Amino acid sequence: MNFDNSQLKLHSSVDHSQHALCEIIADRIAASPHRRITFSEYMDMALYHPKHGYYSTKAVNLGQQGDFFTSVHLGGEFGELLMVQFLQMWEIMGRPVPFSLVEMGAGQGFLALDILKSIQQNSDFFKALNYIIVEKSSALRQEQQQRLQEFPVSWCDLEEIPSNSIVGCFFSNELVDAFPVHQFILKDEQLQEIYVTTSTDGEENKVSASSSRPTPSFVEVSGEPSTIQLTQYLDLVGINALSAYPDGFRSEINLAALHWLGIVANRLQRGYVLTIDYGYSASRYYNPRRSQGTLQCYYQHQRHNNPYINVGRQDITTHVDFTALERWGQSCGIDKVGFTQQGLFLMALGLGERLAMLSYTEQPTFQLLRRRDSLHQLLDPLGLGGFGVLVQNKGLTKTETIQPLKGLIVPDQT
Ligand SMILES: C[S@@+](CC[C@H](N)C(=O)[O-])C[C@H]1O[C@@H](n2cnc3c(N)ncnc32)[C@H](O)[C@@H]1O
């Protein structure tokens, strides 16, 4: 791929930790067959290396002033409205005790805080609640533990949850877009995988401030797919007419999302899976016109598409293929309840009423105007409001299944 970042100021100087991370990646490449690793392995180390990865260090910079922000950073409403949906799920299921909410990828813990404060207002629900956080980054886990110390929350890895044990809801906001992905490119109608190797071009290698050795830098090479699962994935989502695609078409495949969903389905005994993220159906995701995929990097408010700079200092993300989650979920025993857009979902849960209340105020203050602006951002169909919301379920009775979830009810247009 040609990374044209000439308009952007994207290079930070290389610090000790970044230099160390590049050396670790280069060592992994040197030890690998053909001296190359899959893009997915590269992305996993850049984001989640336990010591130097983006999400593992203090470099992780989320929020309005950070590299990027999510719905969670726009105030408490997002969590409060999600709580309305969780409360109804609990009621539909006959108020089980305990009712587990398993938040996966909880960032700084703000969403958990908003949800827990809101549930606290309903003492029956609060007493029934078992709140679990699954968080890969130990730095963020520590921040969550500090922020949530007043609340009965427990932390664990997804794999540690016993099979068939959770009665409640697994949920996530912008988790799946943060999973490492495989990248592919089409050459003569054949699928080739994109690998990462070290650059031998001296120009590319910068000398780190803390080491006399040049910091390794990375380039792409393509080759035979590392696993048959890449073509199996495309079959799953119905993308098999590769002749319809232009030569050089490239995109991503999120095998980690299928692996994750398989574990979630296995751990859920009875209840729901709620996934909020930006993304599309497979037919839009793999539209021949979207010929360069969806990978984006975020570094100090700037968005660009070069994952080989600012290694360990920038977020790398891709859109979510919701068709894959639906179809893979089905094969793992979780059924689609519905799919909607975040804007519609939040409106159905009461965001419209909140906006109307703010509009009745005669003398709007600066804070009030800001709050109104935040709510509009949650709804904006070209921004957060256009995110996908997928709900799946497992193990519910027929009577429970047919009860419409509030967030999925489409307002009457007449
Ligand atoms: C883009 S951030 C979103 C954070 C938060 N949900 C929000 O909306 O602000 C992604 C989060 O998922 C976590 N994460 C990524 N992969 C994970 C995994 N396999 N298991 C648990 N957490 C993971 C990251 O450490 C981070 O907390």
Q: Which domain holds residue 245?
A: 20-65+178-321
Question: Rounded to whole angstroms, how far apart are CA atoms 55 and 87?
Answer: 31
Q: Does ligand 1 come within 6 angstroms of the Cβ of 106? A: yes
Q: Which atom of ligand 1 is nearest to the CA of 55?
A: 25
Of residues 220 and 240, more confidently modeled: 220
8 Å CB contact between 190 and 231: no
Q: Does ligand 1 come within 6 angstroms of the Cβ of 102? A: no
> Domain for residue 57, yes or no?
yes
How far does the centroid of ligand 1 lie from the alpha carbon of residue 111, in Å?
12
> Domain for residue 373, yes or no?
no
Q: Which atom of ligand 1 is nearest to the CA of 134?
A: 21
The per-residue pLDDT of the chain, averaged, comes to: 91
Question: Rounded to whole angstroms, how far apart are CA atoms 13 and 8?
Answer: 15
How far does the centroid of ligand 1 lie from the alpha carbon of residue 315, in Å?
11
CATH number for the domain that contains residue 242: 3.40.50.12710
Residue 343 CA: distances (Å) to CA of 43, 172, 185, 351: 31, 17, 34, 9
* Strand order across the beta sheet in which 296-299 lies: 302-304, 296-299, 315-317
SS3 (DSSP) at 354 = helix
pTM for the structure as a whole: 0.93
Q: Does ligand 1 come within 6 angstroms of the Cβ of 178? A: yes
Q: Which atom of ligand 1 is nearest to the CA of 315?
A: 1
> Domain for residue 255, yes or no?
yes
How far does the centroid of ligand 1 lie from the alpha carbon of residue 57, in Å?
14
Q: What pLDDT shows up at residue 192? A: 96
C-alpha R_g of the chain: 22
- Residue nearest (by alpha carbon) to ligand 1 atom 13: 105
> Domain for residue 329, yes or no?
no
What pLDDT, in 10s, does the model give residues 265-300? 999 999 999 999 999 999 999 999 999 999 999 988
Question: DSSP readout, 178-214?
Answer: GS--EEEEEETTEEEEEEEEE---GGGPPBPTT-SSB
> Domain for residue 138, yes or no?
no
What's the structural domain count of the chain? 1
How far does the centroid of ligand 1 lie from the alpha carbon of residue 177, in Å?
9
How far does the centroid of ligand 1 lie from the alpha carbon of residue 70, in Å?
11
Could you tell me whether strands 190-198 and 182-187 are parallel, antiparallel, or unpaired per DSSP bridges? antiparallel
> Domain for residue 215, yes or no?
yes
Residue 254: pLDDT over 50: yes
> Domain for residue 275, yes or no?
yes
- Residue nearest (by alpha carbon) to ligand 1 atom 1: 174
- Residue nearest (by alpha carbon) to ligand 1 atom 17: 136
Q: Which residues contact 264 (CB under 8 A, 6 or more apart)?
A: 104, 158, 170, 273, 334
What pLDDT, in 10s, does the model give residues 28-79? 999 999 999 999 999 999 999 999 999 987 656 677 667 778 888 888 999 9
- Residue nearest (by alpha carbon) to ligand 1 atom 14: 105
What pLDDT, in 10s, does the model give residues 138-182? 999 999 999 999 999 999 999 999 999 999 999 999 999 999 999
Best of 82, 135, 155, 274 for a ligand 1 pocket test (most atoms within 8 Å of beta carbon): 135
Region of residue 168 (left: phi > 0; alpha: psi -120 to 50; beta: else): left
> Domain for residue 362, yes or no?
no
Q: Does ligand 1 come within 6 angstroms of the Cβ of 174? A: yes
